[in-house]
Amino acid sequence: MFTINAISALGITLILFGFLYYLAKRRVNFGIRTLIAMLFGILIGLVFQGQVDLVRIFGQIYTRLISAIVVPLIFISVIASIIKLENTAKLKSIGLGSIFWLSLNTLIAAILGVLVSKLFKLGVGVTILENAEASTATVPTLLETILNLFLRNIFAHAANQEIIPLLIFALMIGFTFVKLRERIDRKST
């Protein structure tokens, strides 16, 4: 079923995992351990080319675990960050600053994209062949796009890794907490 090389790759990988665990116990910096692990992965890939099916599962499990934690981590982090702000004035200041820098970044990227495409004459001489089987996608209207920014089902959006509606929902929750805290503080004074 599996070749001796595939089993050897698995054995060596498990030994290297043990070494990485030993480094963790010795409190070696996580960044250094990550670089060492990356080098180990490259070496195993080069030595056992095409014979890493048994090792590949570790990477697949790791990426699935990372993907599973990204959405809840972002959601909770946004809420926690907003709740730490004392009042809506700080929230407004940070929000406007973020929008400004994001807009500036987008403008610079668009200008650079146009300049580079003009400089290198991208697309000149390219012939696009039409495929009879190709289907055209429908572009949502502006109103549909705005509506899709808001949460319909938190679990469906999380499962599909649709971050924007989750972020807007998290912002709304955090903002509500800050407003409620301001209201409670005003009533208590």
Write the pLDDT tens digit of every residue in 121-146. 888 888 877 776 777 788 899 999 99
Q: How confident is the model at residue 80 (pLDDT cuts 50, 70, 90)?
A: very high
Rounded Cα distance between 157 and 127, Å, is 38
Other Cβ atoms less than 10 A from the Cβ of 41: the count is: 16
Where helices occur in 26-52 by DSSP H, the ranges are 30-47
**What's the number of CA atoms in the CB half-sphere (13 Å) around residue 74?**
15
Which residues, in sequence order, are CB contacts of 171 under 8 Å at separation 6+? Answer: 78, 82
- Chain position carrying tokens 């390219």: 126
Contacts within 8 Å (CB) and 24+ apart, 17-26: 17/58
28 pLDDT exceeds 90? yes
Q: What is the mean pLDDT of the chain?
A: 89
Contact 4, 50 (CB under 8 A): no
pLDDT at residue 5 greater than cutoff 80: yes
Q: How confident is the model at residue 161 (pLDDT cuts 50, 70, 90)?
A: confident
- Tell me what pLDDT residue 111 has: 97
* Total Cβ atoms within 10 A of residue 136: 5
| Model pLDDT, residue 1 | 67
- pLDDT of 49 higher than 90: no
